Amino acid sequence: MKNTFGHAVAFTLFGESHGPETGIVIDGLAPGIGVDEEFIAARLALRRPAGGISTARREADEFRIVSGVYRGRTTGTPVCILIPNTQARSGDYERLSGIARPGHADYTAHCKYHGFEDPRGGGHFSGRLTAALTAGGALAILALRGKGVTLGTHISRCAGIADREFASADEDIDLLNSRQFAVLDEEAGARMQEAILAAAQAGDSVGGVLETAVCGLPAGLGEPWFDTVEGVLSHALFSIPAVKGVEFGSGFAMADMRGGESNDAFYMDDGEIRTKTNHNGGVNGGITNGMPVVFRCAVKPTPSIALNQETVDFVRGTDTELRIEGRHDPAVVHRARAVADSVTALVFCDLLAGRFGTDWLMP
Amino acid sequence: MKNTFGHAVAFTLFGESHGPETGIVIDGLAPGIGVDEEFIAARLALRRPAGGISTARREADEFRIVSGVYRGRTTGTPVCILIPNTQARSGDYERLSGIARPGHADYTAHCKYHGFEDPRGGGHFSGRLTAALTAGGALAILALRGKGVTLGTHISRCAGIADREFASADEDIDLLNSRQFAVLDEEAGARMQEAILAAAQAGDSVGGVLETAVCGLPAGLGEPWFDTVEGVLSHALFSIPAVKGVEFGSGFAMADMRGGESNDAFYMDDGEIRTKTNHNGGVNGGITNGMPVVFRCAVKPTPSIALNQETVDFVRGTDTELRIEGRHDPAVVHRARAVADSVTALVFCDLLAGRFGTDWLMP
Amino acid sequence: MKNTFGHAVAFTLFGESHGPETGIVIDGLAPGIGVDEEFIAARLALRRPAGGISTARREADEFRIVSGVYRGRTTGTPVCILIPNTQARSGDYERLSGIARPGHADYTAHCKYHGFEDPRGGGHFSGRLTAALTAGGALAILALRGKGVTLGTHISRCAGIADREFASADEDIDLLNSRQFAVLDEEAGARMQEAILAAAQAGDSVGGVLETAVCGLPAGLGEPWFDTVEGVLSHALFSIPAVKGVEFGSGFAMADMRGGESNDAFYMDDGEIRTKTNHNGGVNGGITNGMPVVFRCAVKPTPSIALNQETVDFVRGTDTELRIEGRHDPAVVHRARAVADSVTALVFCDLLAGRFGTDWLMP
Amino acid sequence: MKNTFGHAVAFTLFGESHGPETGIVIDGLAPGIGVDEEFIAARLALRRPAGGISTARREADEFRIVSGVYRGRTTGTPVCILIPNTQARSGDYERLSGIARPGHADYTAHCKYHGFEDPRGGGHFSGRLTAALTAGGALAILALRGKGVTLGTHISRCAGIADREFASADEDIDLLNSRQFAVLDEEAGARMQEAILAAAQAGDSVGGVLETAVCGLPAGLGEPWFDTVEGVLSHALFSIPAVKGVEFGSGFAMADMRGGESNDAFYMDDGEIRTKTNHNGGVNGGITNGMPVVFRCAVKPTPSIALNQETVDFVRGTDTELRIEGRHDPAVVHRARAVADSVTALVFCDLLAGRFGTDWLMP
């Protein structure tokens, strides 16, 4: 299925960094969902470069919804959102023969597309497409919100600096969604931004970890085999450029625990079944248990750096050196948080509509 | 698609811990692949309980291939492998009303299946089904081997003890596939086994990390969005019971690196394009680059422990305590390595057949 | 997806004519559906050879449900039904080198599977697999019945002889499901059986048309594009061996009508919206309108005939002649009716569960 | 998957009759295919209203390819083609409360989308979307042509008047692709056009039958169960508005044949295996046999007619009468031929890429 993901709610991504339009088609979203275009614009703004710590490419991110919405509400038929590339300056990025940028997809794209790929600015591999994904996901966030499901992502780690952990997921989500630089501890956030700037000045880049919480999900979502909540979510999350790891709950830290610690004790809380800890990230046996679904994505440092790098010319088959000119994002983790929210929201719309039917997300 | 995974090569899992048969159907595997039943049996043996460190349930793991094989070779039509449950002793595991075992799927299964689920021994959620997955994957391993693709998994960490890292992936794979307890450093392995026994004596359990390497893959496999190699693999890997995290290459450790470190420099090696490091785990932009694909799965401690645990009776809606009787696996990470190999092999058969056509895997 | 069909409810078929077991896995069926094994046996009996007009191969059609059922009800996890081939007599059908039986799949199987296909009795292409499909569909029929959806199929035409048309679909369905030779007009049925015998005596075979009606479906099932009710149903129906055409409502006859005739006038009938005619077969714009869904399948004559036939030896690449020995079905249309019911029921379970959620089919 | 069809090559349709843009995304098409925009325009022209026999809505059908094409060739990443609705005149079609046009999807859309559907001009159900399908299919036709696979469709029947049958499929295809009104016998075509005009003058409409031939396909495409060539093609073809039946080869006529007649005798023809007749339409056991794949689609009369019609107001729940004002197509069969070609080409690209790999369609 490739550039399409999902079953009951499916989304299809298209476009290239320097093509005329990028876009997303979302199919299967329930009819009647209010389409708040300001909210979509606000979500796009969260993904846009912030302050001095981001790339010089300033994208207006104007979007047009060209199908699936009538009188301000979803119709239930495919919603297509287009985002034009108004600022594409092809010259900046034109590929010099076959020089592979390390950490990028230049070489693998060539292996797959035999030289017919659009090389300008990463082509179809460009982070530019995450704008469309963010816009589409904004619609999914609206749909979920109408059913009491909320979500948010923070930069739990950047350049080796840790944000504080989630305390009350519900309240922390609200906090995060009000912040352009998504940290719970603003002092830690300030230090992260300094570290990003320091890396930029050194011609280098930094990575980080995003942590997402989803609250208000019903228990019973997901499947025992293959379409586990963890499996379906991770499948989609690895499409966020630079994500190299996904863990749920305490994730890799559970490997060093004993069962007596990692087992989350159930208890009755005012008639509701809850767990005292949430090491399992709200998922048991692949299926939601009603606790917040919590997971983390490892985001590698931006591969575009200003340092000299050894590499090859894959057309000529020779060793060479590369120094990437121009300004580039010294980090993407702070921008990727909006994308993580969007991907998560789209996936849960799919899981919910698959489990409870198409109309479940109707307001 | 739920209990079916894959497109060009798809596999479907069925059965319950205490039902008469468990099984797997593998569809789309090329015709002509030699079906070495001894090899399948040997792979099943790698998954079976070892020495004193595993559960008392001794399964013969006799399997029957009932379709898709003719005169010792695959026909190209669906292969069904059945594994009967000869040793099922229902009484041992019968559920007492609605007491949720912490860390298990009892409660979430109930939410999803409304009490109609088979509760005996975890029912369809049981690790017992990984025998069928292992057997099916053995066929996939044979198919890949015929095309020069090899793979192996080691216990890179267990109970806080680390195995040595992969040196030469090719040679280490051979080593691992010859060992029942899959470590590269046997001294570390001995300490892991001691730690497992110590946990068992304390009525507790331990977790670990599995690391898998796949060698010999062509560059150009995978898709830029959604069906990235990382996405598709992790989707399937999270079905291995107890897996709570998946990371590729240096994974979460990349979050703390700078780009100058995490970018893998390309170089020409006797006419072949290779990278000097492999922080990206053989995947750039979702697509294989010809280097070994390397990834790690976090395996949580076995949730079945002999300690007293607080929990709820979800039928009565009351708090209660639970002490799980009988002997249980104090760790599954060493058994899960065979499952990880099998899932990985099945996924790469799918990716290869999707990319190069059904016949590509023919010998 | 090949040997798997469906999304919310999916079914996977495996086995060969002379292999040890054939079977079906049904995934996604709601939990709690009562599994009436006598009903399944009765449905299999409808598919079995009748009287003097069918093949000499007498199959016991004993089936075993090996997963997904607990205490007589579906659990919600995959149901696997196995049907052993107790009477397989390989010698009768063994392929003589590469002689293609005209109208059969010998040659196309060879092109696809390169000679590794199981040639005995048609292998995986055998009508024998429709027993498993019939058994699986019986479960789907039970699920639908629990929600007031009923269906039935009659031989609307055989050897040029027409059955009467549906009068009251509801009542006619009951009538059909009580008859081994599924006609509404028993006098026409008697003449059909005579014609089948006459063809058999001439060493030849006859075809026919099956007409199915499905009552009690809610309006609003299906999709405007691609997953239209017609599209999804026909996709599955063409898997019934020998089906070469599928038409809905008045189908091909509509091509010669004018719009004033083919448009079905809506009217209010005691508060319900109905149509006065049903030329559109209960489907407008790909979506059910609440009227019975009615369609017809063209079934070609059995290709196995006792006459001399010109053909090729595709291994040697030479012209040759063929005379198929042994007794064969002079018609399959009367047996295929049970298969048509089953395929239809499985498809509607999928459409209903996809539209209204997994639990909709719960009793 | 709904508005997306296909696996190896998948296409997604979006848009509404009176929305700003309609479009198609085609994913999985091989890289390097030359994108001849004049050819796409020519294919769109074949779909456009002809002479006096079509609707007054004159659409420019200007299209924009906004992704997946670079320097005149496909890149291998998703191709999005947009077709704006420049001539949408909303007022003409605005729905009066809930009056269901007989034969249309107004009522079924309402059942599915609960009143949130876009009612203007049929919304997402509009034949207008077939322009995007035609444009996308034009690319698929180009891809196939590069591999020697050609196809064409004629109006084999319209208003009860028959065209001549295919003689040499290869040559007839060339003939058809050069004609705006796709008949093999122009005299029959003239009479068809008269009959269409006569129906128009009577305020009524007519239907017909389209017959398509595909030449140059390799043997061995398709699957024995579920993804038969017939099943996959019919699934897609039923999305062409007004199609109510699909038959392959001699189709429904085979029901009245005997096996001795309907079996196609194989013979050696200069080293190639061919059949003397083609009653099976190039498909045996669901798989292509190397003969032309031939099939027919029944197209019902246009439901929009100028006559008084009985119907209901489904919002008020009352009987009412309807007379559709304005000019409408008195037939769509002659326009649908371009759509049938396109759908067919897209489906075969999918089957070929799935069978032989993504690169098989590369030039």
C77–A contact, CB cutoff 8 A: yes
Range B107-112 average pLDDT? 97
Instruction: State the pLDDT at residue A97.
Output: 75
CB contact under 8 A, A238 and B228: yes
- Portion of chain C with pLDDT greater than 70, in percent: 94
What does the pLDDT look like over B122-131, one tens digit per residue?
999 999 999 9
Residue D132, Cα to own-chain centre: how many angstroms?
11
C345, C144 in Cβ contact below 8 A? yes
Strand partners, B215: B150
Secondary-structure percent of chain B, ordered helix, strand, coil, rounded to 5: 35, 25, 40
Report which of C106, C102, C110, C119 is spatially closest to residue C321, judged by C-alpha positions: C102
- Report the gap between the CA of B237 and the closest CA in chain D (Å): 22
B262, B278 in Cβ contact below 8 A? no
Tokens coding B362: 């023919």
Range A301-324 average pLDDT? 95
Range C326-333 average pLDDT? 88
- Report the gap between the CA of A75 and the closest CA in chain C (Å): 13
Tokens coding B116: 């109609």
In a mutagenesis test of the B interface, which of A108, A239, A294 is the best target, namely the one with the most B β-carbons within 10 Å?
Answer: A108
Model confidence at A328, pLDDT cuts 50, 70, 90, reads: confident
- Beta carbons within 8 Å of D275's beta carbon, 6+ residues apart: C102, D264, D265, D266, D267, D289, D291
3-class secondary structure, D9:
coil
Return the residue matching tokens 């159930």: A266
Model confidence at A1, pLDDT cuts 50, 70, 90, reads: low
Lowest mean pLDDT among B315-329, B347-361, C27-41, D236-250: B315-329
Provide the CB-side half-sphere exposure for A183 (13 A, CA).
Answer: 21
What does the pLDDT look like over C167-201, one tens digit per residue?
999 999 999 999 999 999 999 999 999 999 999 99
CB contact under 8 A, D13 and C239: no
CB contact under 8 A, C31 and B359: no
C-alpha distances (whole Å) from D362 to each of A328, B288, D140 are 35, 21, 12
**Distance of alpha carbon A344 from alpha carbon A251, whole angstroms:** 18
Residue C347: closest CA among chain D residues belongs to which residue? D226
CB contact under 8 A, B77 and C123: yes
Model confidence at A303, pLDDT cuts 50, 70, 90, reads: very high
If DSSP states are collapsed to H, E and C, what string results for chain A?
A: CCCEECCCCEEEEECCCCCCEEEEEEECCCCCCECCHHHHHHHHHHHCCCHHHCCCCCCCCCCEEEECEECCEECCCCEEEEEECCCCCHHHHCCCCCECCCCCCHHHHHHHHCCCCCCHHHHHHCHHHHHHHHHHHHHHHHHHHCCCCEEEEEEEEECCEECCCCCCHHHHHHHHHCCCCCCCCHHHHHHHHHHHHHHHHCCCCECEEEEEEEECCCCCCCCCCCCCHHHHHHHHHCCCCCEEEEEECCHHHHHHCEHHHHCCCEEEECCEEEECCCCCCCEECCEECCCCEEEEEEECCCCCCCCEEEEEECCCCEEEEEECCCCCCCCCHHHHHHHHHHHHHHHHHHHHHHHHCHHHHCC
How many other CB atoms are found less than 10 A from the CB of residue D229?
29
A4–B contact, CB cutoff 8 A: yes
Q: Which residue has the higher pLDDT, B59 or A30?
A: A30
- Beta carbons within 8 Å of B201's beta carbon, 6+ residues apart: none
Instruction: State the pLDDT at residue D319.
Output: 97
Model confidence at B93, pLDDT cuts 50, 70, 90, reads: low
Is the pLDDT score of B95 beyond 70?
no
Query: Which residues of B are less than 8 Å from D358 in CB distance?
Result: 354-356
Instruction: State the pLDDT at residue A13.
Output: 98
**Distance of alpha carbon D225 from alpha carbon C15, whole angstroms:** 11
**Distance of alpha carbon C233 from alpha carbon C226, whole angstroms:** 11
**Distance of alpha carbon B132 from alpha carbon D53, whole angstroms:** 62
Instruction: State the pLDDT at residue B92.
Output: 47
The beta-strand segments (E) located in chain C are: 4-5, 10-14, 21-27, 64-67, 69-70, 73-74, 79-84, 150-158, 161-162, 208-215, 243-248, 266-269, 272-275, 283-284, 287-288, 293-299, 308-313, 318-323
Average pLDDT, chain B: 94
Q: Which residue has the higher pLDDT, C329 or A88?
A: C329
Model confidence at B228, pLDDT cuts 50, 70, 90, reads: very high
Is the pLDDT score of C271 beyond 70?
yes
3-class secondary structure, D207:
coil
Strands C150-158 and C208-215: antiparallel
Q: In sequence order, which ranges of chain C are alpha helices (DSSP H)?
A: 37-47, 90-93, 106-113, 130-145, 169-177, 186-201, 229-237, 259-262, 333-356
Return the residue matching tokens 């009795």: C121
What tens-digit pLDDT sequence spans chain D (363 residues)? Answer: 689 999 999 999 999 999 999 999 999 999 999 999 999 999 999 998 765 665 555 556 799 999 999 999 999 999 999 999 986 555 545 555 799 999 999 999 999 999 999 999 899 999 999 999 999 999 999 999 999 999 999 999 999 999 999 999 999 999 999 999 999 999 999 999 999 999 999 999 999 999 999 999 999 999 999 999 999 999 999 999 999 999 999 999 999 999 999 999 999 999 999 999 999 999 999 999 999 999 999 999 999 999 999 999 999 999 999 998 877 889 999 999 999 999 999 999 999 999 999 999 999
Q: CA geometry: angle at B150 spanning B146 and B156, to 5°?
A: 160
C-alpha distances (whole Å) from D317 to each of C216, D311, D312, D320 are 20, 11, 7, 9
Report which of C254, C280, C256, C252 is spatially closest to residue D192, judged by C-alpha positions: C256
CB contact under 8 A, B3 and A226: yes
Sign of the dihedral defined by the CA atoms of residues C65, C70, C72, C74, in that order = negative
Report which of A302, A201, A110, A322 is spatially closest to residue B265, judged by C-alpha positions: A322
Instruction: State the pLDDT at residue D55.
Output: 56
B29–D contact, CB cutoff 8 A: no
Instruction: State the pLDDT at residue B90.
Output: 56
**Distance of alpha carbon B101 from alpha carbon B119, whole angstroms:** 11
What is the per-residue burial (b if ≥16 Cβ within 10 Å, else e) of C42-57? ebbebbbbeeebbbeb
Residue B82 is classified by DSSP as E
- Beta carbons within 8 Å of C202's beta carbon, 6+ residues apart: D258
Range C4-32 average pLDDT? 97
Instruction: State the pLDDT at residue B86.
Output: 80
CB contact under 8 A, A354 and C224: no
Report which of D327, D334, D335 is spatially closest to residue D304, judged by C-alpha positions: D327
**Distance of alpha carbon C338 from alpha carbon C334, whole angstroms:** 8
CB contact under 8 A, A238 and B245: no
Instruction: State the pLDDT at residue A229.
Output: 98
Lowest mean pLDDT among A288-297, C135-144, D136-145, D319-328: D319-328
Amino acid at A289: N
Tokens coding C216: 């009690």
Report which of C237, C233, C234, C231 is spatially closest to residue D238, judged by C-alpha positions: C231
3-class secondary structure, B213:
strand
**Distance of alpha carbon D102 from alpha carbon D245, whole angstroms:** 19
**Distance of alpha carbon A7 from alpha carbon A28, whole angstroms:** 8
Lowest mean pLDDT among B4-13, B46-55, B339-348, C81-90: B46-55
Instruction: State the pLDDT at residue C48.
Output: 86
CB contact under 8 A, A75 and D20: no
If DSSP states are collapsed to H, E and C, what string results for A51-83?
A: HHHCCCCCCCCCCEEEECEECCEECCCCEEEEE
The C residues from 308 to 337 touching D (CB cutoff 8 Å) are 309-312, 314, 317-319, 333
Helix (H) or strand (E) holding B312: strand B308-313
CB-closest option in C125, C237, C303 to D263: C303
Amino acid at A359: D
Estimate the crossing angle of helix D333-356 against helix D229-237, to 10 degrees: 140
Average pLDDT, chain A: 94
Sign of the dihedral defined by the CA atoms of residues B26, B32, B33, B36, in that order = positive
Tokens coding A299: 């985001």
What does the pLDDT look like over B299-327, one tens digit per residue?
999 999 999 999 999 999 999 999 988 77
- Report the gap between the CA of B256 and the closest CA in chain A (Å): 5
Size of interface A-D (CB pairs under 8 A): 168
Strands A287-288 and A283-284: antiparallel
C-alpha distances (whole Å) from B215 to each of B144, B346, C137, D307 are 10, 15, 44, 71
pTM for this structure? 0.97
Is the pLDDT score of B89 beyond 70?
no
What does the pLDDT look like over A41-79, one tens digit per residue?
999 999 987 656 655 555 567 999 999 999 999 999 999
What does the pLDDT look like over C280-318, one tens digit per residue?
999 999 999 999 999 999 999 999 999 999 999 999 999
**Distance of alpha carbon C89 from alpha carbon C74, whole angstroms:** 35
Range B217-241 average pLDDT? 98
Is the pLDDT score of C223 beyond 80?
yes
CB-closest option in D237, D275, D287 to C112: D287
A56, A45 in Cβ contact below 8 A? no
Report which of A105, A102, A121 is spatially closest to residue A113, judged by C-alpha positions: A105
What does the pLDDT look like over B171-204, one tens digit per residue?
999 999 999 999 999 999 999 999 999 999 999 9
